């Protein structure tokens, strides 16, 4: 497994500028990854079995089916466990509770797969929802396998209403760095920000399963991704010079996730930002912004050294530079990558603010922000987001962001937009981005 | 083996100093002046042209100093030198930093202008905004930029035409209004893509030329934007 990192930026700054932006693309490629060198994989499937999963019963039936089918397909040797979650958590497989042993993982083989499938088919919906207890149980289950790549999948259909919110926060704190967790909300009675808190803290992805029929595919897709991971605990190690501050570090592709607050200091000038486990064929983009002390015209300085660290071993690095110049032709250029991802980040926040305003009944703000979102999604070729937006607004003109709010929007459509608003597209190879100079408009001959 | 950087730091990295980021062993003279280092900056061998008034670096073809506003041709300063319009820090939404000049720019969407443009070179991708409100931008410093805001490029024009209804025909750095010693204004086009038209002239003004504007004069930029200058107060 090899990593490479490259920087996209305009390193030329006007004489009074201190803010340096760069996009760092990190790509993993399968070198000679062998079964012998790649670590063990452990997956924990956490399924909501609260009473609401039985109303309608299509939800629990789909969950039983999806869960059974996926455990029955686990490859030999995968470590796994199944947790049933309500107002309390129970590790239903392996059933260590029956013998009074502490919860643990079990290796997949013909017998364990069959037993787990049978248990999955008998899950009954009753009780409340206390997600913090589910996460704590997962942490206990994973405890015996510190070296494994540890991924959990959490499925719920409701809000975390059987425990105070601080319990969830405390559980998340205990689980941080122990395992990664994806979260799925079924239907429209769950809370997007609650699940986003979980996945943002535990380096996972949040998504909506609007229709229980989609559960089967989603479980499979999760396992495929999980089993494809080849390296655990990869970190971005960022050094910035004395007197500077790292303004933000953001994953910007495939989804937007702010890593700024997750830094662990390595030394006074260096911090580590967690990125979780990587597959052998993955590529992600990071937007790094550093405020450096102002330089004089002609100065060149390193604004950031971005290293990729596996274990404690730097495996690749990218340099972010700053060169101060009074040549406007140089400083006026903009890195297309930086511009693109700045737009994608604005797109996500425009959607968030638009939906929030709509909830508050502020239709003017909602129209403006969602209109801006349509414009940004359109400009950047983010067709997935355009489609989601079209379910919430009538688009009169995508180029100018002229939209009208739709009446009677389905809750699942609004939540799908909210949940998927952080998905980005990469820079398209369009010949001429209309950013600058301005798009040739009908105008007098200049 | 540690090396010593131009600012005197011991560095394990041999490309850039791992304390201050200065280039190590670079051939080019590197007058680094990080506040972190109490260094002795070398002066670049080739002196760049500077403003005779404030010493800021200037471009050979610039008519005015970007920092203090000195008119290089006449040697005159603007009547009220603003605290220095700082393009990096002066956000469009930030409160105006300068003084009230007693003038406003009235920004509106001009349908007749839009139509005449469309007649000349039709472009179906541009549609006239139906709900555009008329905006008044008080001219709070002696240099007012006209353009489209770009956070990534650090462009925050006072007259920001990226705000709804965003005019797609306006360049990021389009033009500037500059206050003259007599209190009146000129407009200078920065070499915008689609030009600036003053008082509905037949052709756009030449980039870099300062064109006088009087109370009530208007100019057009982009696909539909009309900007009218009005004297509203009796500021000095």
Interchain contact B122–A (C-beta under 8 A)? yes
Q: How many domains does chain A have?
A: 3
Pick from B34, B153, B154: CB nearest A241: B34
| Average pLDDT in chain A | 91
Same domain, A48 and A143: yes
pLDDT band at residue A444 using 50, 70 and 90 as cut-offs: very low
ipTM of this complex: 0.78
Over residues A340-353, the mean pLDDT reads 94
In a domain? residue A346: yes
A397 pLDDT exceeds 50? yes
Size of interface A-B (CB pairs under 8 A): 186
Instruction: Give tens-digit pLDDT for B52-86.
Output: 666 666 655 566 656 656 666 666 666 533 333 44
Any residues with CB less than 8 A from the CB of B151 and at least 6 apart, and which?
A: A342
Same domain, A21 and A161: no
pLDDT at B126: 82
Look at residues A331, A350, A366 and tell me which one is the last residue of a structural domain: A331
Over residues A405-423, the mean pLDDT reads 93
User: Between the CA of residue A160 and those of A167, A168, A219, what are the distances in Å?
Assistant: 10, 8, 22
A150 pLDDT exceeds 50? yes
In a domain? residue A426: no
pLDDT at B214: 87
Domain hosting residue A104, numbered range: 41-230
The full length of chain A comes to: 446
Same domain, A318 and A344: no
* Inter-residue contact A216 to A66 (CB < 8 Å): yes
pLDDT band at residue B25 using 50, 70 and 90 as cut-offs: confident
Q: Which of A392, A390, A320, A380 is nearest to A345 (CA)?
A: A380
In a domain? residue A235: no
- Percent of chain B scoring above 90 in pLDDT: 19
Q: Which residues of A touch B32 (CB under 8 A)?
A: 295-296, 299, 301
Q: Domain holding A404: CATH number?
A: 1.20.120.1690
Same domain, A209 and A287: no
Same domain, A83 and A184: yes
Pick from A15, A239, A371: CB nearest B18: A239
Same domain, A18 and A128: no
Compute the nearest-CA separation of B168 from chain A (Å). Answer: 6
pLDDT at B41: 32
Pick from B32, B34, B153: CB nearest A334: B153
Look at residues A331, A354, A381 and tell me which one is the last residue of a structural domain: A331
More confident residue, B91 or A336: A336
In a domain? residue A431: no
Same domain, A124 and A174: yes
Residues 49-108 of B with CB under 8 A from A: 56-59, 86-88
Instruction: Give tens-digit pLDDT for B177-196.
Output: 998 888 889 999 988 888 89
Pick from A296, A372, A444: CB nearest B41: A296
Say which range, A332-346, A425-439, B181-195, has the weakest mean pLDDT: A425-439
B37 pLDDT exceeds 70? no
More confident residue, A168 or B59: A168
Q: Which of A104, A90, A10 is nearest to A50 (CA)?
A: A90
Q: Which of A287, A340, A341, A295 is nearest to A322 (CA)?
A: A295
A35 pLDDT exceeds 60? no
In a domain? residue A439: no
Any residues with CB less than 8 A from the CB of A312 and at least 6 apart, and which?
A: none
Same domain, A54 and A140: yes
Same domain, A211 and A77: yes
Burial bucket for residue A266 (CB in 10 Å: 0-12, 13-18, 19+)? middle
If you measure CA to CA, which chain B residue comes closest to A399?
A: B125
Same domain, A190 and A311: no
In a domain? residue A442: no
Same domain, A61 and A87: yes
Same domain, A276 and A310: yes
Interchain contact A381–B (C-beta under 8 A)? no
A329 pLDDT exceeds 60? yes
Q: Which of A62, A86, A43 is nearest to A187 (CA)?
A: A62
Q: Domain holding A244: CATH number?
A: 2.60.40.3670
* β-strand partners of B144: B177
Instruction: Give tens-digit pLDDT for B126-137.
Output: 888 877 788 888
Q: Give the domains, in start order, of chain B with CATH numbers.
A: 30-77 (no CATH), 103-231 (2.60.200.20)
In a domain? residue A433: no
A2 pLDDT exceeds 90? no
Contact between A368 and B171 using a beta-carbon 8 Å cutoff:
no
Look at residues A298, A331, A364 and tell me which one is the last residue of a structural domain: A331
């Amino acid at each position: 497994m090899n990593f490479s990192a490259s920087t996209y930026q305009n390193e030329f700054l006007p004489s009074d500028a201190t803010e340096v932006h760069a996009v760092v693309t990190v790509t993993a490629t399968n070198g000679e990854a062998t079964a012998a060198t790649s670590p063990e994989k452990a997956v924990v499937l956490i399924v909501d079995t609260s009473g609401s999963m039985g109303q309608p019963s299509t939800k629990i039936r789909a969950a039983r089916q999806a869960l059974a089918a996926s455990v029955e397909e686990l490859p030999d040797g995968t470590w796994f466990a199944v947790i049933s979650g309500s107002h309390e958590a129970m590790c239903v497989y392996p059933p260590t509770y029956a013998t009074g042993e502490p919860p643990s993982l079990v290796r997949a083989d013909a017998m364990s797969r069959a037993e787990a499938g049978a248990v999955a088919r008998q899950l009954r919906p009753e009780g409340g929802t206390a997600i913090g207890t589910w996460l704590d149980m997962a942490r206990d289950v994973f405890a015996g396998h510190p070296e494994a790549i540890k991924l959990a999948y959490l499925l719920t259909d409701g809000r975390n209403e059987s425990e105070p919110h601080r319990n969830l926060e405390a559980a998340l704190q205990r689980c941080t760095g122990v395992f990664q967790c994806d979260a799925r909300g079924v239907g429209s009675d769950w809370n997007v920000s609650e699940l986003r808190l979980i996945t943002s803290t535990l380096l996972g992805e949040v998504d909506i399963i609007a229709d229980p029929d989609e559960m089967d595919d989603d479980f499979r897709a999760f396992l495929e991704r999980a089993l494809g991971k080849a390296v655990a605990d990869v970190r971005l190690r960022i050094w910035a010079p004395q007197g500077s501050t790292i303004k933000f570090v953001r994953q910007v592709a495939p989804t937007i996730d702010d890593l700024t607050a997750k830094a662990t200091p390595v030394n006074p000038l260096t911090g580590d930002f967690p990125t979780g486990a990587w597959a052998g064929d993955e590529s992600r983009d990071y937007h790094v912004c550093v405020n450096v002390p102002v330089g004089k015209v002609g100065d060149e300085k390193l604004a950031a050294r971005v290293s990729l660290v596996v274990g404690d071993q730097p495996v690749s690095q990218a340099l972010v530079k700053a060169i101060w110049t009074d040549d406007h032709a140089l400083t006026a250029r903009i890195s297309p990558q930086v511009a693109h991802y700045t737009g994608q980040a604005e797109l996500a926040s425009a959607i968030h603010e638009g939906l929030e305003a709509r909830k508050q009944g502020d239709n003017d703000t909602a129209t403006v922000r969602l209109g801006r979102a349509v414009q940004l999604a359109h400009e950047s070729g983010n067709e997935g987001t355009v489609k989601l937006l079209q379910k919430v607004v009538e688009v009169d003109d995508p180029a100018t962001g002229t939209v009208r709010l739709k009446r009677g929007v389905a809750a699942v459509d609004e939540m799908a937009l909210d949940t998927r608003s952080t998905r980005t597209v990469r820079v398209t190879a369009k010949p001429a981005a209309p950013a600058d100079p301005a798009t040739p408009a009908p105008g007098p001959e200049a | 083996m540690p090396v010593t950087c131009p600012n005197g730091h011991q560095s394990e990295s041999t490309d850039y100093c791992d304390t201050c980021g200065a280039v190590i062993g670079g051939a080019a003279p590197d007058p680094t002046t990080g506040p972190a280092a109490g260094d002795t900056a070398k002066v670049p061998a080739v002196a760049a042209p500077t403003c005779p008034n404030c010493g800021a670096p200037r471009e050979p073809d610039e008519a005015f100093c970007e920092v203090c506003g000195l008119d290089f041709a006449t040697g005159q300063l603007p009547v009220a030198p603003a605290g220095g319009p700082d393009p990096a820090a002066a956000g469009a939404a930030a409160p105006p930093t300068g003084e009230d000049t007693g003038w406003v720019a009235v920004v509106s969407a001009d349908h007749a202008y839009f139509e005449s443009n469309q007649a000349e070179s039709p472009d179906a991708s541009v549609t006239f905004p139906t709900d555009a409100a008329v905006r008044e931008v008080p001219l709070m410093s002696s240099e007012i930029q006209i353009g489209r805001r770009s956070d990534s490029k650090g462009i925050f024009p006072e007259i920001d035409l990226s705000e709804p209804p965003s005019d797609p025909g306006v360049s990021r750095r389009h033009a500037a209004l500059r206050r003259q010693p007599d209190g009146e204004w000129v407009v200078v086009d920065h070499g915008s893509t689609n030009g600036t038209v003053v008082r509905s002239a037949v052709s756009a003004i030449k980039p870099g030329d300062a064109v006088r504007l009087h109370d009530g004069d208007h100019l057009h930029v982009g696909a539909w934007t009309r900007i009218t200058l009005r004297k509203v107060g009796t500021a000095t």
